[in-house]
Amino acid sequence: MTFAVPFGSVANAEQLRRGLNVAISDKVRIPPASIDPSIKNYHWLDLVRGLYDAYDRGAETALILDFNGNVAEGPGFNVFCVKDGKLKTPAVGVLPGITRRTVFDLCAEAGLAASAADVSVAALKAADEVFITSTAGGIMPVTVIDGISVADGQVGAITSRLMALYWQKHEDPAWSSPVSYT
């Protein structure tokens, strides 16, 4: 089954400029043994609970944990962290999103190392840069986690570079398919 809705972004223009304020919720992502996260579904109770937890804490969105206490994903998006020029994204309990996959492709093209592996809360908070990815927004910077600035609190150079590359690819015929509405 498919359906179409108007395009909307997880982050608005101001949030894209300054970066998002994210809270890490103690809500746990439903384990893959219960619901396969690689299949897009609308069982979002865990994600919505995390989002309300984030709102209660003054954040704009949430990240929730996997069943091992590592960072998993947020409501409708994946997360990446950058440390010493290397990118990492959670590997377990997440939807392997198309934009997440695109970041791997962009990194390969740009000569950046990117891997999927466990991402601890401590590693995420100690990152040089953090960003989230979603079809509804592309690559979106995170500059505050749990009320604390990520690095210097500014959108990082690698995040900015990948954001620009991502949107440039929308104009590249090798990366896009034109749609005729006639």
Give the start-to-end residue ranges of the domains of the chain. 13-169
> Between 89 and 31, where is the model more confident?
89
**Is 40 tagged catalytic?**
yes
Confidence class of residue 3 from pLDDT cuts 50, 70 and 90?
low
Cβ neighbors of 2 (< 8 A, separation 6 or more) are none
Query: Measured between alpha carbons, how far is 158 from 156 in angstroms, rounded to an integer?
Result: 6
pTM of the model: 0.92
What type of residue sits at position 124? L
Stretch 23-41: mean pLDDT? 83
Q: Does domain 13-169 have CATH number 3.20.10.10?
A: yes
Query: Measured between alpha carbons, how far is 73 from 63 in angstroms, rounded to an integer?
Result: 5
pLDDT tens, residue by residue, 54-108? 999 999 999 999 999 999 999 989 999 999 999 999 998 899 999 999 999 999 9
Q: Average model confidence (pLDDT) for the chain?
A: 92
Query: Measured between alpha carbons, how far is 106 from 67 in angstroms, rounded to an integer?
Result: 30
Which of 40, 88, 125, 169 is catalytic? The answer is 40
